[in-house]
């Protein structure tokens, strides 16, 4: 694996995390391969072909439901508490 591919494989998971946490920096924030490629500064076809495993991981993470947050009256501040 050359340096460019290694660099891409570092940027893609970082971009995934930004998109999945709603903190995009260079894309429109949509949970799509196009936005992931833009967020990681990687050509879309490189993501689809060279890094298909990371693309699949991204879609799996998008499809996996997040744990629900519950509101607790005991927390006092009206903030959600993790249950």
Is 62 a residue whose pLDDT tops 80? yes
Look at residue 65 in the predicted model and tell me its pLDDT.
74
Between 31 and 76, name the one with better pLDDT: 31
Token pair for 56: 């699949």
Helices 52-63 and 3-20 cross at an angle (nearest 10°) of 10
Return phi, psi of residue 37, to 5°. -60, -45
User: How large a percentage of the chain has pLDDT more than 90?
Assistant: 69
Task: Read off the pLDDT of each residue in 51-78 and give the average, rounded to a whole number.
Answer: 74
- Please state the pTM of the whole predicted model: 0.75
The residue length of the chain stands at 83
- Degrees (nearest 5) of the Cα angle 47, 52, 57? 105
Look at residue 82 in the predicted model and tell me its pLDDT.
52
């Amino acid at each position: 694996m050359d340096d460019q591919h290694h660099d891409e494989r570092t940027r893609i998971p970082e971009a995934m995390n930004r998109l999945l946490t709603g903190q995009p920096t260079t894309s429109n924030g949509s949970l799509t391969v196009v936005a992931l490629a833009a967020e990681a500064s990687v050509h879309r076809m490189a993501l689809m072909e060279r890094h298909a495993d990371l693309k699949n991981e991204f879609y799996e993470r998008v499809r996996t439901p997040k744990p629900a947050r519950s509101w607790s009256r005991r927390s006092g501040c009206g903030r959600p508490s993790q249950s």
